[in-house]
């Protein structure tokens, strides 16, 4: 069965290249024609710390793919959250009755996908590897992380087990009956990482510095409260264990886990978030509103004021709009909101 990857950037590129290498039939669709042409001409290169490999790749722009009238079977969606719906819509008419879309994204994109193709054709995925698009035809695989596949209704279906097997070509993918537990846990962790992206500092330094832990804790706690209200059990992964932070902070284990996380991140060649990269390098809008607005909205529905998440979103949007510089002063503003709110 062909895997059609929509969005051949950091995540789509890494997953696709490994699957091609393991013998899967993979087709890439990306809106960046220069990248598409480079992949077709010289293959797709995955650059790691001490190694690299190149695979032959079949890639199309959206228009080229639609003109070729190729069928679509399994779709892996790996665009930034704000492009979710527009990325799938053109391909919906090409999907077969048993085709489905897997979200290789951060956030709660599964809900957006379900609105386009239906909940029964949407499969959830949590991914925590670290990667960056470097140049046309070249992706940096900057650090290995977990990958879980699961149905949004919590069942472990045949297609989930099949995907898990096929993804072994990338690495140790696992099936889960609690995909939203991973996605909400990543939303909390991701909000903490988003706070780091308001500065120019590396992520590892935040987890290594105890003075910065209170503000990270407050940002993570606010999201985990919403998850709890939703009846979600947030899952641990890759040295991040939400149960050490919320509902009751468990020290000294929490601090020890942050030091371990810092150690893990120091081994990665990708040292900052994709959000930081969009702001500082690629100079474009981030996916932060698509990730944080739903959390704020759901939090408010539960009667939570969400001051830290709101402040974080406004900091990022002001940086996007050129109204604010990146820097540690932004963290100080977040700390002030933390103190006012009493959240720790």
Ligand X SMILES: CC(C)(CO)C(=O)C(=O)O
DSSP 237: B
- Alpha helices, H only, the chain: 10-21, 33-42, 62-68, 84-88, 109-117, 158-166, 179-196, 203-208, 213-229, 253-266, 274-280, 288-301, 307-320, 328-341
Q: Which of 45, 47, 106, 196 binds ligand NDP (CB under 6 A)?
A: 106
Q: Which is nearer to ligand X, 39 or 288 (CB)?
A: 288
Q: Which is nearer to ligand NDP, 288 or 338 (CB)?
A: 288
Contacts of 76 (CB under 8 A, 6+ apart): 3, 4, 5, 6, 12, 15, 16, 101, 102, 104
Q: Which is nearer to ligand NDP, 107 or 307 (CB)?
A: 107
Peptide bond into 252 cis (omega under 30): yes
Which of the listed partners (ligand X, ligand NDP, none) does 112 bind, with a CB threshold of 5 to 8 Å by partner kind?
none
What is the strand order of the sheet 122-127 is part of? 58-60, 26-29, 3-6, 72-77, 95-103, 122-127, 147-151, 174-175
Q: How far apart are the C-alpha atoms of 3 and 16, rounded to whole Å?
A: 9
- Binding-residue pattern over the window 11 to 50 for ligand X, x denoting contact by CB under 6 A: ----------------------------------------
CA-based nearest residue to 62, from 79, 44, 96, 87: 87
Pull the structure tokens for residue 231.
Answer: 């009846």
Residue 286 binds to ligand X (criterion: CB under 6 A): no
Stretch that binds ligand NDP, among 48-56, 73-81, 154-162, 238-246 (CB under 6 A): 73-81
Q: Which of 47, 80, 100, 222 binds ligand NDP (CB under 6 A)?
A: 80
Q: Which of residues 190-219 bind ligand X (CB under 6 A)?
A: 193
β-bridge mates for residue 131, sequence order: 141
Angle at 336 between CA 330 and CA 337, to 5 degrees: 95
Residue 290 binds to ligand X (criterion: CB under 6 A): no
- The residue written with tokens 């991040």 in the block is 240
Stretch that binds ligand NDP, among 25-33, 50-58, 221-229, 243-251 (CB under 6 A): 25-33
Q: Which of 273, 291, 309, 330 binds ligand X (CB under 6 A)?
A: 273
Q: How far is the CB of 203 from ligand NDP (least distance, A)?
A: 11
Q: How far is the CB of 58 from ligand NDP (least distance, A)?
A: 15
Residue 84 binds to ligand X (criterion: CB under 6 A): no
Q: Which of residues 235-274 bind ligand NDP (CB under 6 A)?
A: 274
Under the rule (CB under 6 A), what is the footprint of ligand NDP?
A: 6-12, 29-32, 35, 62, 78-81, 83, 86-87, 104-106, 127-131, 133, 274, 287
């Amino acid at each position: 069965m062909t895997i059609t990857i929509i969005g051949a950037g950091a995540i789509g590129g890494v997953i696709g290249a490994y699957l091609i290498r393991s013998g899967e039939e993979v087709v890439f669709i990306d809106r960046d024609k220069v990248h598409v042409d480079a992949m077709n001409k010289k293959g797709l290169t995955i650059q790691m710390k001490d190694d690299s490999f190149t695979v032959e790749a079949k890639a199309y722009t959206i228009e080229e793919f639609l003109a070729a009238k190729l069928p679509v079977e399994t779709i892996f969606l790996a665009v930034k959250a704000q492009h979710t719906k527009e990325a799938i819509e053109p391909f919906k008419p090409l999907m077969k009755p048993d085709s489905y879309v897997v979200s290789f994204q951060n956030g709660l994109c599964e809900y957006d996908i379900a609105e386009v193709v239906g909940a029964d054709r949407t499969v959830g995925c949590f991914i925590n590897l670290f990667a960056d698009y470097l140049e046309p035809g070249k992706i940096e695989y900057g650090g290995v992380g977990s990958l879980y596949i699961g149905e949004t209704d919590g069942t472990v279906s045949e297609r989930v087990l099949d995907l898990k097997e096929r993804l072994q070509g990338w690495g140790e993918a696992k099936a889960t009956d609690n995909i939203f537990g991973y996605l909400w846990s990543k939303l909390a962790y991701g909000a903490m990482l988003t706070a780091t992206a308001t500065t120019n500092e590396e992520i590892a330094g935040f987890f290594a510095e105890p003075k910065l832990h209170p503000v990270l804790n407050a940002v993570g706690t606010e999201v985990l409260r919403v998850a709890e209200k939703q009846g979600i059990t947030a899952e641990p992964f890759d040295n991040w264990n939400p149960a050490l932070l919320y509902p009751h902070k468990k020290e000294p284990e929490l601090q020890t886990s942050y030091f371990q996380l810092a150690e893990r991140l120091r081994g990665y060649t990708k040292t900052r978030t994709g959000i930081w990269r969009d702001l500082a390098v690629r100079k474009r809008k981030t996916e932060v509103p698509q990730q944080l607005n739903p959390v704020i909205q759901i939090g408010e529905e539960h009667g939570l004021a969400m001051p830290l998440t709101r402040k974080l979103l406004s900091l990022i949007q002001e940086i996007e709009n050129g109204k604010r510089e990146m820097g540690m002063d932004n963290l100080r503003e977040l700390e002030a909101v933390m103190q006012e709110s009493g959240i720790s």
